Amino acid sequence: MDATYKRSLILLAAVLVAAAVCFYTNTVFPDALAEETAAAAEEFGVDEALVRGVIFAESGYDTDAVSRAGASGPMQLMPSTREWVSKVTGIAADGTAMSEVRLGTAYLAYLLRRFGGVETALAAYNAGPANVERWLREGEEPYPETAAYVKRVLFARRVYARVF
């Protein structure tokens, strides 16, 4: 094998690896909603990696996502929650990505203040504050789905904190 051919193969391999890394990074860690997430995290004093983790777990960054339960948007807010947060904060629930991320982040900030801890706030985001209050009051374990959700968000948060 001559030197030129060998260099060409090495260059081709490097290009393929770079393309794979770019594809993986943009698929698993999308830059979508980056501006919205950064702005909302700063506005409401919430860790940006945590907000990104919630979006990843809730919708996989699909701004048009709708759950079976009726939650929608990148942060999967229920209509009643969206309406309440909009009323309390004055943020228009106009369906734009920016308003959805702001509303979801404002709600997350509220839950962090209310429950005083990330894990309980995430459990409340997933299962509702009333369920978390009952679990705490009665010493019950969260729903298995909620426990898995909290772990998924915390894992994504750690990854996002390293990547971004």
pTM of the model: 0.83
Q: Which residues are known catalytic residues? A: 58
Q: How confident is the model at residue 22 (pLDDT cuts 50, 70, 90)?
A: very low
pLDDT at 32 (0 to 100): 81
More confident residue, 16 or 106: 106
What would the pLDDT profile of 103-157 be if each residue is shown by its tens digit? 999 999 999 999 999 999 999 999 999 999 999 999 999 999 999 999 999 999 9
Q: Cα separation of 137 and 101, whole Å?
A: 31
- DSSP secondary structure of 20-45: HHHHHHHHHS--TTHHHHHHHHHHHT
Q: Cα separation of 1 and 160, whole Å?
A: 43
Q: How far is CA 111 from CA 24, 102, 104, 108, 122, in A?
A: 32, 14, 11, 5, 8
pLDDT above 70 for 62: yes
Beta bridge mates, 72: 66, 77
